[in-house]
Amino acid sequence: MISFGPVPSRRLGKSLGVNNIPGEKKCTYSCIYCQVGVTKHYLSARESFYDPSVIFNEVNHHLEKLSVNDKPDYLTFVANGEPTLDINLGKSIIELKKLNIPIAVITNASLLYDPQVCSDLMQADWISVKIDTGSESIWKKLNRPLHNISFEAYLKGLDVFSKSFKGFLASETMLVRGVNDSTEDLNETTELIQSVAPSTAYISIPTRPPALSSVEPPSETVINEAYQIFSEKGIKCKLILGFEGTDTGFTGNAIDDIINICTVHPIREDTMLELLKKNNTDVFVLESLLFDGKIKKVSYNSKLFYIRQFRDDYFSKKK
């Protein structure tokens, strides 16, 4: 199956997935947190997988079967591995654009040093690049790149691409406890993200079984610290804590509002009180969410914040 979904995505709305890598995962990295397990097929040379017409026909057929309400907001290349390993990626994007639905690509950015990869991605409307760290030693430990991919080339690729891409550029940073989540690490990562200047920088955490069983999400306090450090440097950032709720404003349903907003970014205490007031409710709602473990109180620079309690069953059971 090349296409799947659409699945709800907080970043992209309704996203119809396009998997342009057939068979087992093929990647330039073997990230310790990868949900698809350890990389058995390391690749850095691009290959031809599907003919672009095959991808177009399958996606088109998939769309025909969907109800009007399920029409996707994006066709998203989110592959079983690294989508830019597909030498036909640019041609496939051009074919799919005939369907008049914006195209997104989620890439680990390791091949952006290749001008042809950059040129392929220029055809897309929305790109997310992986930036887990600004440190070469952490990059090697966390993303475990294939030996012939250098950190210098990765940085150069990010720089060149980010300066020339005209669509919506996002970055995604996965935080792993004890690996890239110290204050020093976060500052180093922030510096790299600042230089890339994405429209939005997403911070995520592992919430599914990772490739290495020792991988753990950072504490809520650290997630909040990361959010604050990014924000203080002028980076527009959002959290992705594994819950794809409806992105909402003030709906009149205080519980939904608090959970949905807390999942995207920490709510400062004063803002929280205002939110409760706007929803015509009181602190009882807040206390019940805290009591049920749905949200948590954390402090940063002497200020109190509320943040989504993110640990899912998998990590709770590991304890």
| Least distance CB 144 / ligand SF4 (angstroms) | 8
What residues from 22 to 41 belong to the interface with ligand SF4 (CB under 6 A)? 27, 29-31, 34, 36, 39
| Least distance CB 131 / ligand SF4 (angstroms) | 12
Q: In this complex, which beta carbon is closest to ligand SF4, that of residue 29 or of residue 161? A: 29
Strand, helix or coil at 18? strand
Of the candidates 107, 106, 314, the one whose C-alpha atom is nearest the C-alpha of residue 217 is 314
Phi, psi values for residue 160, rounded to 5°? -65, -50
Of the candidates 17, 131, 36, 126, the one whose C-alpha atom is nearest the C-alpha of residue 75 is 17
Residue 198 in tokens: 């994405």
Site track 229-268 with ligand SF4 (rule: CB under 6 A), x = hit = ----------------------------------------
Contact with ligand SF4 (CB under 6 A) among 3, 84, 108, 260: 108
Strand partners, 298: 305
How many residues in the shown chain lie near ligand SF4 by CB under 6 A?
10
DSSP assignment of 72-133 equals -SEEEE--SB-GGGBTTHHHHHHHHGGG---EEEEE--TTTTSHHHHHHHTT-SEEEEE---
| Least distance CB 255 / ligand SF4 (angstroms) | 33
Contact with ligand SF4 (CB under 6 A) among 19, 78, 82, 205: 82
CB 302 within 8 A of CB 194: no
* Residue in this structure with the two tokens 């804590």, named with its chain if needed: 241
Q: Does 205 engage in binding with ligand SF4 (CB under 6 A)?
A: no
Q: In this complex, which beta carbon is closest to ligand SF4, that of residue 218 or of residue 266? A: 218
| Least distance CB 268 / ligand SF4 (angstroms) | 32
Provide the binding-site residues for ligand SF4, judged by CB under 6 A. Answer: 27, 29-31, 34, 36, 39, 81-82, 108
